[in-house]
Amino acid sequence: MKSVVVCGSKRYKDEIAAFCAELEKLGVLVFEPNIQEPIPEDSFFQSEHVTTTIFKGLTLEHFDWIRKAEVCYVYNKDDYAGISVTMEMAYANALGKPIFALTPKTGEPLRDTLIDKVIPSAKELAALL
């Protein structure tokens, strides 16, 4: 089965959702980031413990998807990737997963070195899998 985990910033949530939908139409199992209803970083839920647990849960959920997927795809529009994407790329790399990206740059040269191949469209990604 063809599968991919998509990593990207919530600032591109609409574009990422469209990219994931296109992949699914092409028969790819997609693990999409949980950013359709983003939680601001300064959110507070009832207590510090609950707030920390929610953010940790979202992070660990995405790590689980990285482990399950065949490849990691970084949706780095405008050559941007944030802190969460940095952690996700590092985790994928540690697991030996190929890391593909929309563009060759992420805004950080060390992150850029983790990109194995630039694939600018969902159609090209689906064909490669």
Q: What is the pLDDT at residue 38?
A: 59
Angle at 88 between CA 127 and CA 52, to 5 degrees: 140
- Note the residue count of the chain: 129
Q: What is the pLDDT along the chain (129 residues), one digit of tens a residue?
A: 799 999 999 899 999 999 999 999 999 999 998 766 655 566 556 677 666 676 676 778 989 999 999 999 999 999 999 999 999 999 999 999 999 999 999 999 999 999 999 999 999 999 999
- CATH number of domain containing 110: 3.40.50.450
Number of domains in the chain: 1
Q: What is the pLDDT at residue 47?
A: 72
Q: What is the pLDDT at residue 21?
A: 97
Q: What is the pLDDT at residue 50?
A: 61
Cα(17)–Cα(30) distance, integer angstroms: 11
Q: What is the pLDDT at residue 8?
A: 95
Strand arrangement, sheet containing 29-31: 29-31, 3-8, 71-75, 99-101, 117-118
Q: What is the pLDDT at residue 55?
A: 67
Cα(11)–Cα(102) distance, integer angstroms: 15
Is residue 41 within 8 Å of residue 66, measured between CB atoms? no
Domain limits for position 19 = 3-128
Is residue 61 within 8 Å of residue 34, measured between CB atoms? yes
